[in-house]
Amino acid sequence: MKITIVFPARALEVTRASISVMPPSLTLLAALTPGEHEVSLVDMFCGDEVDYESDADVVAITVRTVLATVAYEIADKFLKKGKKVVLGGPHVFAMPEEAKGHATSVAIGEAEPLWPVILEDAEKDTLKDFYVCGPYPTAELAGSVHHEKERPSLDGLPMLRRDLLPRDRYFMDSVFTTRGCPNHCRFCPVTDIFGGRIRHRPIDEVVAEVATLGKRYFNVDDSVFGHPQMTDRPQEDVYYLDLYKELAGLAPKRHWTGAGGLSAVNYKNGRKILELAAESGLSAIAAGLESISGEGQRQSGAWRKLHYTSADTFDITQMKDGIKTIQSLGIEILGFFVVGWDDDTLDTYRRTLDFCDETNIIPFIFTLTPIPGSQVYKEYLEQGRLHDDVPWDHYGDHVIYDHPTMSATAMTEANAEVMTEGYSMGRILKRTFSTLRQRPSLDLAMTSFFTQIGLRKAYRQVYGDVLRSMR
């Protein structure tokens, strides 16, 4: 069979793609495809166009909430042409029945055990309505169901099919080493999707794959430092200690980026993991700090991933100390914050930017978006706080819920103001020189500078478009 796998995007995402990363979802699904099939990949983030006259037998589309509208449009066009359409991804996990209205089949959960079965059924023209992987209830799904009840092992996975995309158009390759998250943040569905227990890929397989990558890559794990506070799982620390020792020995050394928390600095093994990660080439982390207040930590649930014993023990001085420790190892920090919790005010946007200025971290300050599948989404839906009839492509760019004290317009304007100021040329240069002092590498400093210039352009366009649409 001929199979086309699509990673949807809008024109807006193409404009915002200042740091292009090879998408792991496309290349993993292609790697899981048996060799007798012919596979083509469409990465719309990099400007690929969908060929609706394609002779593909099966079209698979990854669906994320903000891109669900365009994903469904693509799916509907292929269905009208008689193609078999399979939808998967995080949005589908939360909205399987909705997705089924735009697909031949819906895949819920992880792809490794499901994709070969889906292709076999497609070839026999016996596709079921739903394919489910993981310990999820299926009784409410209206239609035929194939259910793999256990989450898959990550042993023996094939290397991603990077050869199916033009590698030179991507700034970074991508790789993953683990799945699972024990944090249960209230605004995030990742724990429900991948489970609270962390599963690891074998170190030798990860190292062999990294050895094939270019000079930069992104590790898409939930936390590249692991969770060193998990004393009941000492093998958790050993995994990262051994992994980064092996990666540090690769020649040439690659520079890499990933998501990581500050809390590792508070544990003996955590500090060693940080040092070895830096030695292996880690140059920047995306850190979900989420809030500068204890009440914001409580309402978001993020205090768990920062490893406070409760939201009451949140200490912003401790957060600042963790930032300094990580930066002292030459690791740049991209700080992600959510504003819009019930106790937040318009001044919270400004104070969050002030915190970023003080600590020299790159600001990513966003207004809360209740994402389908998250605890916050379920609660706000039950409370009648979500705006009715908001299209999915407004999730992430517009305020889509009622706040007790702030209007949607005021929140959007405040967010636009701090994100515009946060990427002023003076601030960009200050952060770039700070990075250069911590790790004297002109290559990394220039990467930081031009990344921020790209973000400056992207956010000014995004907020400009949103504000114009509101007036």
pLDDT in tens, 28-40: 999 999 999 999 9
Per-residue model confidence as pLDDT tens digits over 383-418: 999 998 899 999 988 899 999 999 999 999 999 999
Which pLDDT belongs to residue 13? Answer: 62
- The verdict on residue 137 lying in a domain is yes
Per-residue pLDDT, 266: 84
What pLDDT score was predicted for residue 17? 47
Same domain, 136 and 197: no
For 6-25, the pLDDT digits (tens) are 999 987 665 554 568 999 99
**10 Å Cβ neighbour count for 397?**
18
| CA 415 to chain CA mean position, Å | 21
What CATH code is carried by the domain that includes residue 466?
A: 3.80.30.20
Instruction: Please check whether residues 117 and 196 belong to one and the same domain.
Output: no
Q: State how far the alpha carbon of 265 is from the alpha carbons of 52, 260, 307, in Å.
A: 51, 11, 11
Q: Let me know if residue 97 belongs to a domain.
A: yes
> CA-CA distance, 170 to 47, in Å (whole number)?
12
Domain end, chosen from 113, 148, 183, is at 148
The stretch 141-145 carries a mean pLDDT of 96
Q: What percent of the chain has pLDDT over 70?
A: 96
**Are 75 and 175 in the same domain?**
no
Is residue 159 a part of any domain in this protein?
no
Q: Do residues 215 and 101 both lie within one domain?
A: no
Share of the chain above pLDDT 90, in %: 79
Residue 156 lies in a domain: no
Strand order in the sheet with 173-175: 173-175, 216-219, 255-259, 282-290, 332-339, 362-367
Q: For the segment 250-304, what is each residue's pLDDT rounded down to a tens digit?
A: 999 999 999 998 888 888 888 999 999 999 999 999 999 999 999 999 999 988 8
* Mean pLDDT confidence for 202-227: 94
| Single residue among 116, 148, 180 that ends a domain in this structure | 148
> What's the number of domains the chain is made of?
2
Both 304 and 435 in one domain: the answer is: yes
Does residue 279 belong to any structural domain of this protein? yes
Its pTM surpasses 0.95: no
| Whether residue 134 sits in one domain with residue 190 | no
Per residue in 176-194, pLDDT tens? 999 999 888 999 999 999 9
pLDDT in tens, 420-444: 999 999 999 999 999 999 999 999 9
Does one domain contain both 213 and 73? no
Distance, in Å, from the CA atom of 306 to the CA atom of 460, rounded to the nearest integer, reads 31
Q: Output the pLDDT for position 175.
A: 96
| Confidence at residue 307, expressed as pLDDT on a 0 to 100 scale | 81
158 domain residue, yes or no: no
Give the side-chain half-sphere CA count within 13 A for 327: 21
Mean pLDDT of 345-367: 97
Residue 277 is assigned to a structural domain of this protein:
yes
Residue 15: C-alpha distances to residues 362, 454, 458, 467 (Å): 20, 9, 7, 18
**pLDDT value for 396:** 83
- Supply 137's token pair: 């209830």
> Does a structural domain hold residue 140?
yes
Task: Indicate if 193 and 113 belong to the same structural domain.
Answer: no
pLDDT surpasses 60 at 419: yes
Residues 133 and 32 in one domain: yes
Write out the residue range of the structural domain in which residue 439 sits: 171-470
Question: At residue 359, does pLDDT exceed 50?
Answer: yes
Whether the bond between 252 and the residue before it is cis, its omega within 30 degrees of 0, is yes
| 144, 184: one domain | no
Q: What is the CATH number of the domain that holds 80?
A: 3.40.50
> Of 148, 179, 195, which residue sits at a domain end?
148
| Ramachandran class of 89: left when φ > 0, alpha when ψ lies in -120 to 50, beta otherwise | left
Contact call for residues 161 and 31 (beta carbons, < 8 A):
yes
- pLDDT band for position 146 (cuts 50, 70, 90): very high
The answer on 131 and 198 residing in a single domain is: no
Same domain, 340 and 209: yes
pLDDT band at 230 (very low <50, low <70, confident <90, very high): low
Contacts of 26 (CB under 8 A, 6+ apart): 5, 7, 41, 43, 62, 164, 165
